[in-house]
Amino acid sequence: MMDPVAFFTEPFAYEFMQRALLMSLLVAAVCAVLSCYLVLKGWSLMGDAISHAVLPGIVIAFVLGIPLVIGAFVAGLACALATGYLKDNSRVKEDTVMGIVFSGMFGFGLVLFTKVETDQHLNHILFGNVLGVTAADLIETAIIAGGTLLVVLLKRRDLLLYCFDPNHARAIGLPVRVLHYGLLILLSLTIVSSIKAVGIILVIAMLIAPGATAYLLTDRFGRMLMIAVAVACGSAALGTLISFHIDGATGACIVLVQASVFLAAFLFAPKRGLWALKRLGASKPVSGGAPAPLDLFGNPRSLSFASGGPSAAKSRRSRPSTSRSA
């Protein structure tokens, strides 16, 4: 039986494991913060679309001899803009448009990759290679992830209001289109910073699982952010350690740990877990009414500005100056 202390200390005798842990923590932190907004906005498929669409940009950047992150960012942003244009100018729903655009761009990237002579291994692009990151890769990721985190934190209230109720954000004068495309740019940058750690396929799990887990555990957005970061960073550290001891893919191990934490929250969350809901249903009196559901601000949904009812309209008219800080 392995010594528990050795399980945590042995891997860090190697420099590549130290860099892998730092890279995993950086990626986990920025993905966790953004995942809360994506879950609240319902943009899970958008993250999947952009993560797949960056492949042709990576290949074209390699051919042109420019940094791969530039090509990935341009391709991801082009996917987001194309999705928005097609949605606004056709009868097709947004999720259908995203499926067509990202699968088309991903297929285009695969065709380009097979036609270009390169020593890049496809698996490293698709699934990441966090154990092979260099100090330069770590610095590059830290700059991108740090800049993304800084922008999100500076604009966290405006982004929150836009994700929660775009109509209310527009009514009080927030630049909704700027926030929309700004969030897409931040999403593209986050995916670019995560490619070397978990690849363009597994990054979608990093962008959704922490926020979804935190959403099951709290009604407050501030707590949701903290829980998501804690879950993501803890999963990143544990997954990196497990991958060392079982000689497995690090990105896949991190994603499996995050999925396990989400499953545990889904089953045993104090208020929204499956077990708690079953106990509540068994103990609730037949004649009693269920309590009003709460939103992320801890208010009953029927009274919040997200409901779109008369109370929302009254809030827009009577308190325009304070709504922005919600």
Decide: 109 and 59 in contact? Cβ < 8 Å.
yes
Cα–Cα distance for residue pair 275/294, rounded to 1 Å: 19
pLDDT digits (tens, 9 = 90+) for 139-173: 888 888 888 889 988 888 888 888 888 888 888 88
Decide: 75 and 54 in contact? Cβ < 8 Å.
yes
Torsion sign (Cα): 56, 62, 63, 64: positive
- Asked whether the predicted pLDDT for residue 300 surpasses 60, the reply is no
The pLDDT of residue 313: 40
Look at 42-46, 126-130, 281-285 and tell me which has the smallest mean pLDDT. 281-285
Return contacts of 119-122, CB within 8 angstroms, 24+ apart.
Answer: 120/62
The pLDDT of residue 122: 62
Look at 25-29, 126-130, 241-245 and tell me which has the smallest mean pLDDT. 126-130
**294: three-class secondary structure by DSSP:** strand
The pLDDT of residue 285: 54
The pLDDT of residue 322: 39
The pLDDT of residue 121: 60
Look at 104-113, 131-140, 249-258, 275-284 and tell me which has the smallest mean pLDDT. 275-284
